Structure 1
Amino acid sequence: MWKKYSYQIFFILCFLNATAVHSEDSTSRIKAKLQEDLVSHYLKSLEIKFGECGSSLQSCLQQKEDYMTANLPKSEVCFPYTMCGFYNCMEQDYHCSDVGVNYFTELALPTCSAYESNIKKNLFSDQGVEWIYTVMVCLQKGLVDECVIKGNCPVSTNKIEQKKTCDHITEFTLLYHPGCYINSGVGVCHLPLKDKMSIWKTVNPFMTAREKKEAYKVIFECFSRE
């Protein structure tokens, strides 16, 4: 019984005496710092696998609509960035919605977009904003590492095999969430109280029983650190 109610109690307590303040300038600085790190360091891991960009970084990294791609000699890769459109790129590569697996289109992209919308509504502190974008990058890097670098998400024209891949992507990412939530930025456990409540407000509309299972892991981890 305590497990049932601890979920609600946690977020009620988070709301008490809470404030959140951030500026557009600080958001831009946070995003720029993460983008610089991705280009300076993470891109190298892709180059090892798919060949070097060459002398022109601009010709290698390109923005297409609302996402970035790395155009490497052996492959064009959805590039992790501070952009929710990354999930549109992944959907174009794997076409998961075609086989009834809607992780990219009905969970990842809407949740990510809701976070950005609530940042604009000033629902998060600077720490919260940094946490959100660091989690965003963590989740995107996790997917690229699993699917592209490790090659564990084979693309297939066979619908059965395609669905297996998309189911794997969904399960992998859901299991990957707690680590990103706990370890990104200052970590969700150490965010200001209002930020925690705003996180709940953001993700709640999209959470199924499966997502709540992973949320419990985060909550219990925070409790264990008290």
Structure 2
Amino acid sequence: MVLVRWAVVRPSQSPQPPQPSQPHPLTTNCSRPSLNSCNFYTDCLEKKFNCGINGYPIRYGSMNCEKFANAINRFSNDGKKWVTKTMLCLQNALVPVYNNNTITCAEIKSAAFSSHSKCYIDSGLCSIPADWLKIFQIIDIRDIVESWEVIMQVVQTAEGCAAFYVWLIESFCKEHHYCKE
């Protein structure tokens, strides 16, 4: 997704470059993300902080939110509830970040990743084992192996859900033929 910013310039004005740290008024949408929507990442975080295409709002937040929203029908009924709750939880966790006018893009990413495992578990991940494989099929495996933050969120989530931890180890073991049958 490419974001384009258009400016209207009156003849008596000269264009002004965007100011990433300039406070934006808090709108209803940005103070209260919508259920079943991924717009908070682009319309609020990215618009205010301009982290760019590789920043958390676009590269991780919006991209993964859209992946899960588009794949929701692949999940069981409980899995669909988990996706919906998790999408909203992850965005709500970033409302205080949005309200902070001095935060950096690196701090946004750190705060976001810090919220992931809690949102996954609190939204009911431990109770949907039938959907765990579907979750991993949606997540880009390159994000897991290339990002320390993603590895840590998987470990923290596994620590909070013993059955998920066992499943994760068994799945890895079987996939790579490390386990004895």
Q: Say if 2:133 is the partner of 1:197.
A: yes
Give SS of 2:27's match.
strand
Give, in angstroms, the shift of residue 224 of structure 1. Answer: 7.2
| Counterparts of 2:41 and 2:58, CA distance in 1 | 7
- Distance of 1:209 and 1:118 partners within structure 2: 26
Unpaired runs of 5+ residues, structure 1, are: 1-73, 156-163
1:135·1:181 contact (CA, 8 Å) conserved in 2? Answer: yes
Q: Which residue among 172, 175, 186 is the counterpart of 2:111?
A: 172
Deviations 1:55-95 (A, max 9, x none): xxxxxxxxxxxxxxxxxxx7425231121121111201111
Distance of 1:113 and 1:171 partners within structure 2: 20
Structure with bigger RCO (C-alpha 8 Å, 6+ apart): 1
Query: Partners in 1 of 2:115 and 2:92 — Cα distance?
Result: 11
SS of 1:212's equivalent in the other structure is helix
Can you give the 5+ residue segments of structure 2 that lack an aligned partner in the other structure?
A: 1-24, 167-181
Equivalent AA in structure 2 for residue 220 of structure 1: E
Give the Cα–Cα distance (whole angstroms) in 2 for the partners of residues 183 and 138 of structure 1.
9
Contact 1:142–1:176 (CA<8 Å) still a contact in 2?
yes
* Percent identity of paired positions between Structure 1 and Structure 2: 26
Q: Is the 8 A contact 1:101 1:166 kept in 2?
A: no
1:84 is matched with 38
1:101 and 1:167 in contact (8 A); partners too: no
Relative to the length of structure 2, the TM-score reads 0.66
Aligned residue among 55, 61, 70 for 1:117? 70
* Distance in 1 between residues matched to 2:27 and 2:149, nearest whole Å: 32
Give, in whole Å, the separation in 1 of the partners of 2:85 and 2:163: 23
| Number of equivalent positions | 134
Higher helix share: 1
1:91-102 pair list within 5 angstroms: 91-97=46-52, 102=55
Judging by fraction of residues, say which structure has more strand. 1
TM-score (norm 1): 0.54
Moved over 6 A (4+): none
